Structure 1
Amino acid sequence: MPLTSVDHVQLAAPPGSEALLRAFYCGVLGMTEVPKPPELASRGGCWFLAGAGAVELHLGIEADFRPARKAHPGLRVDDISAYAEQLASRGVPLTWDHALPGRRRFYTEDPVGNRLEFLEGPGRGGCRCCR
């Protein structure tokens, strides 16, 4: 059976970081928190949606947390300049990267140090961003 789509991406976070995660993913990135199923809620962490459900990020708690510095979600935005300005105005540091032909992109980190990539432009067909 062929794969059809990505259901969600999970990143790790340290114990007790849920308030920081909510402030960043909802307050800064504009995502919406969705409740975790009761069976999973006791583990801590947060789940977030954006783009009418097209983007789903799960932040799971790890006792021996180490932030993802290389591994990362690549999140598409329609107007990357406006989005970058919005994040920068909220004090989010951005690093622009021009090494991927035909794509505009920048990187940042969430409040616990996980790498996040934001991209604009045509996708698919040989992404070299992660090599």
Structure 2
Amino acid sequence: MKRNATAVWKGSLKEGAGVLTTQSKTLENTQYSFNSRFEEGVGTNPEELVAAAHSGCFTMQLSAFISEGGYEIESIETKCVINLVEGTIIGSHLIVNAKVKGISNEVFQELVTKAELNCPISKLFTAEITSEATLH
């Protein structure tokens, strides 16, 4: 399976602007710019998209591991914070809140760590990946 997205940029780094389009067209000519990346401008940015990809991938992987263990999932919510410092993504931090019937906190934490290490987006990173998880 292969997926794709396309970026088109026009102009210089600070004065220019670009658009992103995904294969599925979920993003179609979605604006991004220096201001949306490094300041508070309108539009998306690569780090925000990486955060969306990591939180989505991790959550699906955690769901698979919890289901394999025979537990019933009510909900899993994952926020991902990408840390960009001096032009380098130095970390991805996952904040997990879940409602899972019958699971102990110990087993839940083990499955969170397993998902953190095994989701395809996690495997893509060379940066440190950390997480914190809360079971409700």
TM (normalized to structure 1)?
A: 0.28
Larger Rg: 2
Larger RCO, structures 1/2 (Cα 8 Å, 6+ apart):
1
Tell me which protein shows more helix as a share of its residues: 2
